[in-house]
Amino acid sequence: MGQALGCYQVEESNVAIKEYFGKFEEILEPGCHCLPWCLGYRIAGELSLRVQQLEVRCETKTKVECFLSSICTVSWDHAFVTVVASVQYQALADKASDAFYRLSNTRGQIQSYVFDGRWGGFSASFVHVIRASVPKLELDAVLEQKNDIAKSVEEELEKAMSTYGYQIVQTLIVDIEPDTNVKRAMNEINAAARLRVAANEKGEAEKILQIKKAEGEAESKYLSGLGMARQRRAIVDGLRDGVLAFSENVTGTRTKDVMEMVLMTQYFDTVKDIATQVRDGLLQGNASQNLIQEL
């Protein structure tokens, strides 16, 4: 209706392409514009100046080297990985005519560039950078250097897309997906590595426990021996004091006689203790037998 009345309104963050009898005339900024269609003027279309985002996936090769053990190494040369990049791009207002006329279906053709790798431009730059850098790196290095790869991709895309009237705002490598077989192998290797670490930790723990146990036993034996030595020293001191006291109080006795008497006394005490233990054992045995008979 606006064009029928000779007026046309351009929304904010958009520009309109004005033609005169099918030929490009000018870029119309946001606002209301006079458009005398009867004189051959018309709007060919509009172009958004907003930042847009496109996810780009590129399959390439990388060098993956995995260590199964200290003596066995398994490596895959040229294993496939899928690099997923998020590309943010924007049409340039001063090059809106290039963006509008040179790319009839922007997203569709960009997708074609990326997936088919045709016509150069966007995909050629992306694929060129990815496939020129990734195959030289192992997977771990690719993961570590993905920011550098993203920067290189952004610079190359900027060169390619500027001729189409677009600028690359930012490019991020959001994911790196190894081949399924590589993922499985890496998971197995990681699991084996974790088990090895766990086994080492368990071995160290057991080693520490054995050392502490041995140190405890040694300390216990030392203290036991020390106590026994003190006990024997006390016994000897007691015997010596008893012999001296007995010799001083009983005239005519010899030290040897006193020692024999003390040893005889200790002998009878020991026999008494043994007899007591035997008696207690017999009593307990008889009590147990009587209880069994009652049951």
Nearest-angstrom CA–CA distance, 241 and 208: 49
As a whole number of angstroms, the distance between CA 104 and CA 249 comes to 133
The pLDDT, as a whole number, for residue 129 is 62
3-state secondary structure of 76: strand
Least Cα distance to 178 among 99, 260, 82, 42 occurs for 82
**What residue has token string 């007899």?**
275
pLDDT at 201: 82
In the numeric block, which tokens belong to residue 176?
């790196």
pTM of the model: 0.51
Phi, psi (rounded to 5 degrees) for 181: -65, -40
Instruction: Report angle CA 156, 160, 165 to the nearest 5 degrees.
Output: 130
DSSP symbol at 138: B
What's the pLDDT score for residue 253? 63
Hey, what are 195's tokens?
């088990």
Q: What is the mean pLDDT of each run of 10 residues along the chain (295 residues)?
A: 69 92 91 87 90 82 53 52 83 89 68 46 54 69 78 78 85 80 70 78 84 84 80 71 67 67 76 84 79 70
Question: What three-state secondary structure class fits 282?
Answer: helix
Cα(179)–Cα(79) distance, integer angstroms:
7
For residues 40 and 9, give the distance between their C-alpha atoms in angstroms, rounded to a whole number: 18
Distance CA 143, CA 140 (A): 5
